[in-house]
Structure 1
């Protein structure tokens, strides 16, 4: 039986967690679940090991479900596992861009994928500690929306048109997110007005499903499902399908959600998230993203095992 390690906080989006566990169980995985902060890297002379809950562990596959805040240790851990022949979902370089809007924009631009105009900038944390209003930087021309570079689910997304108090609160919140060793970047984008947006999910280079999201409550302008957006399925032949697949390929991700915005004949990528939620899309479209992820991992592990039989050094990393 193949072993799959899922790094996860069970209390975060338990519905999505259950869907993944159901899919993995159906496909015969032996699942070990651990909190991501329980991963250690042990460095000794001539040897480096990855430990989970105090035990050295080298599973067949790894899925990082709630890991974005822990990449200082997890990114090298994923690399070490991959060098040992472990299949890591969205491993390698993709971990860096999986939830970083500035890095995402750079990769999409390099690949020639149409994107929403984006500016990456930094808050003046020292100034914010003294006066949020005075320290707020001048905004690039055309800025309509401000958001954290590593935010998700509409987290702190702020309309400039909502006024100085809202913008000041945004900068104050960004200042509070800074630490003594790291300052999170800010993304400035135009406000694209239209018929909501399109959420797509891509797994293993294939489109799993698409849906249109429209803001639900009158007072809520963000089209996030967890904020009450009204969602409806779209056909796989929709113009956004090919664009979503291209975007995920440009970032080197195995599985990701893609947000597209604009008219159907001029869609642009707004965001790509390697840890995007899929439960609302599955409910609306019947896509079964967890099943597709599990099937992809089984194929990838099987391919590595086949190569390992031909080359015994493949699994050991020699």
Structure 2
């Protein structure tokens, strides 16, 4: 398999592990910076250049597209898809997952549990918006924040109003959610590959914080996700169309609730905590998808 990995930095742990796993499975692999890919789009076909030279023939592409380059990165990935490359996460699926509001709407429509969420635009509606949610504490999240950035906890109604007013003054898009107190600052990340949970870890927020992200000082340990947690994680990835996803769940009194679905989840924390070769699982899944596509084409001739 001729494989490309879209990543801004070939030295990042996740990118390095995918390269190692691909080579261990005897695949040809190259890391491409999506911002150095540029495209020709015409009715007679699609083509791509990279750093001054044409690139083609990549049978599969694994996207590692950060939030800051979502728009351009997803366009590059779409170009590869139009050039017949297989990918575990399509450009459209990445866009669905990256937009928290859209993601929550899609999950709720399929009756997947999540914290009650409200969203509004007009300042005149703030009071009624918060009454739809219920009494504080409230969690306020930027719609496209990552790694715990842009997530705030407000313990009083006046604080919720103040943060909302400040964010509206900055023209920021944000959601307001109920705070699940019984979770005690912990969540479970289920790593889904090809419709199954291949690894899971429990993350715990540091003392004095409620965000369990490892980038925020949280700790992690490998766990076995319950059957209910695995089911919710697999369903959430399927609804968004993601073959590879990190699904963050919170354990509540009413069962597992989805906090976020990450289309480019980091590998370092989950591999360290679980001891699972997650990179190898991803490469095997992509290779299998390619084999099935080739077999399907052969059968249709």
Residue 226 of structure 1: aligned partner: 215
Find the partner of 2:177 among 168, 184, 189.
189
Q: Distance in 2 between matches of 1:108 and 1:231?
A: 26
Question: 1:37-52, aligned counterparts within 5 Å?
Answer: 37-44=35-42, 46-52=44-50
Give the direction of change, closer, same or farther, for the CA distance of 1:44–1:169 in structure 2 (3 Å limit): same
Residue 24 of structure 1: aligned partner: 22
Give the direction of change, closer, same or farther, for the CA distance of 1:86–1:230 in structure 2 (3 Å limit): same
Query: Which TM-score applies when normalising by structure 2?
Result: 0.85
Structure 1 gap ranges (5+): 125-134, 179-183, 313-318
1:268 aligned onto 2:254: no
In the TM superposition, residue 295 of structure 1 has moved relative to its aligned partner by 0.3
Give the direction of change, closer, same or farther, for the CA distance of 1:11–1:149 in structure 2 (3 Å limit): farther
In the TM superposition, residue 260 of structure 1 has moved relative to its aligned partner by 1.0
Deviations 1:185-209 (A, max 9, x none): 2111111112311111100001012
Give the direction of change, closer, same or farther, for the CA distance of 1:52–1:74 in structure 2 (3 Å limit): same
Q: Distance in 2 between matches of 1:174 and 1:17?
A: 37
Give the direction of change, closer, same or farther, for the CA distance of 1:122–1:69 in structure 2 (3 Å limit): farther
In the TM superposition, residue 168 of structure 1 has moved relative to its aligned partner by 5.4
Q: Distance in 2 between matches of 1:121 and 1:4?
A: 43
Residue 291 of structure 2: aligned partner: 302
Structure 2 gap ranges (5+): none
Residue 152 of structure 2: aligned partner: 158
RMSD, aligned CA:
2.9
Deviations 1:216-250 (A, max 9, x none): 2x222211122222322222445311111111111
Q: Distance in 2 between matches of 1:264 and 1:165?
A: 26
SS of 1:262's partner is strand
In the TM superposition, residue 212 of structure 1 has moved relative to its aligned partner by 1.8
Deviations 1:63-103 (A, max 9, x none): 11134333434434433432332112211431221222111
Q: Distance in 1 between matches of 2:248 and 2:279?
A: 19
Give the direction of change, closer, same or farther, for the CA distance of 1:164–1:15 in structure 2 (3 Å limit): farther
Residue 32 of structure 2: aligned partner: 34
Deviations 1:260-287 (A, max 9, x none): 1133761111111111223212111122
Residue 198 of structure 1: aligned partner: 188
Residue 127 of structure 1: aligned partner: none
Shift >4 Å, 4+ stretches: 135-139, 162-176
Q: Distance in 2 between matches of 1:161 and 1:73?
A: 38
Residue 106 of structure 1: aligned partner: 105
In the TM superposition, residue 62 of structure 1 has moved relative to its aligned partner by 0.9
Give the direction of change, closer, same or farther, for the CA distance of 1:105–1:221 in structure 2 (3 Å limit): same
1:242 aligned onto 2:231: yes
